[in-house]
Amino acid sequence: MKRLIEICCCSVDDAITAARNGADRIELNTSIECGGLTPSIGMLETVKAHVSTPVIAMIRPRTGGFCYTSFEFESMKRDAQRLIDCGADGIAVGILKEDGTFDLERMKEMVNIAKGQGREVVCHRAFDVSADLAVSAQQMIDLGVTRILTSGGCARCLEGGLEQINALYRQFGNQIEWLACGSIRPNNLAEILAQTDVRQFHMAPMMTVADQSMSGKTIRFNGTPEESSYRTIDPDMVQAACKIAAQG
C-alpha cells in the first residue's frame, strides 16, 4: 500500500513545486527557520488558486514554545477561522500549559473551529515536547483531532524517534492518524519505511537559492542569517520521496 508524503511549504512557489512533483498533502507555513509560523491569507489564497492538493495551514503566532497569552490565543482563533474560510483543508495547532500538558480547553476551541466546517485538525510538534506522549495521544483522540505530527519526542526520526512512534502506533493504532517526521529525507526514507507500519510522512526537502538582488551586499535584520539567499523546496527530492513512498 502506498505511503503518503506531506511536504512542509513556506511560500506559494514551494506549494506549487510540491504539488507538481507528487506531494499528497501540503503543510503551509511561513518562517521555517522559526519552526513554522502562521501563513498569510494572501499566501493561502494564491496556493489554493494554483493547486488542488490538500493544504493544512499552520496556526502558530510566534516561535519560542507553545504556551500562549490570551491575546495570542485570540489571534490564533481568528487566524484559524479566516484561513478555513479562505479554503484551508485543515489546521495544524498545539497549545500547552506551563507544566507541559495540553491546554485541553483551548485545544477544544480550535478543534471546534475546524471540525465545525468539516476540516481536519493536526496536532503539531507541541506534542513532542508535551509532558507525557501517551497521555497526550489519548487526549488528542478524545478531542477528535485528525492526526498527530510527531518525531517521537526526538530531534530525528532515526535517532530514537521511530521506536517511540512505533510504540504509540501499537498502543493507539488507527484511533488517530500518525504523521511521522524528524529529518526524513529521500536518502533515509526507505530505511524508515522498512521499520514502521505508519503510513504518513512529513518532510521539508529544501535547497538554498541565491537572491541576486543581494549580490555583493552584507546585511542582517535583527540577528537573522545573511540576507543573500533563501531556502525553497527541491523538486527532485520531492519526486524521489514520492517514488519511494509509492513502492510501499
**113-136 confidence digits (pLDDT tens):** 999 999 999 999 999 999 999 999
Number of domains the chain is built from: 1
**Predicted confidence (pLDDT) at residue 104 exceeds the cutoff of 70:** yes
- Residue 222, classed as helix, strand or coil, is coil
List the grid coordinates of 225. 542569517
For 130-182, the pLDDT digits (tens) are: 999 999 999 999 999 999 999 999 989 999 899 999 999 999 999 999 999 99
C-alpha separations of 42 from 9, 38, 120, 177 in Å: 15, 12, 21, 29
- Domain holding 207: CATH number? 3.20.20.380
Which pLDDT score is estimated for 33?
82
Only one residue has cell 494554483, namely 50
Does residue 11 have a pLDDT over 90?
Answer: yes
Tell me the pairing of strands 120-123 and 147-150. parallel
Domain holding 83, by residue range, is 4-246
pLDDT at 224 exceeding the cut of 70: no
State the pLDDT at residue 31: 87
- List the grid coordinates of 51: 493547486
d(CA 100, CA 102): 7
Provide the pLDDT for residue 219. 65
Helix (H) or strand (E) holding 220: none
For the entire predicted model, the pTM comes to 0.93
CA distances from 119 to 81, 106, 136, 146, 153 (A): 11, 17, 21, 9, 26
CB-side exposure of 218: number of CA atoms within 13 Å?
Answer: 0
pLDDT given at position 229 = 78
φ, ψ at 37 (rounded to 5°): -125, 175
Percent of the chain with pLDDT over 70: 94
The grid coordinates of residue 4 equal 503518503
**pLDDT above 80 (res 40):** yes
Q: Evaluate whether 149 touches 126 at the Cβ level (below 8 Å).
A: no
Q: Which three cell numbers stand for residue 85?
A: 474560510
Q: What would the grid cell of residue 208 be?
A: 538554498
Q: How confident is the model at residue 216 (pLDDT cuts 50, 70, 90)?
A: low
Inter-residue contact 79 to 109 (CB < 8 Å)? no
Contact 126, 151 (CB under 8 A): no
What does the pLDDT average to over 62-67?
95
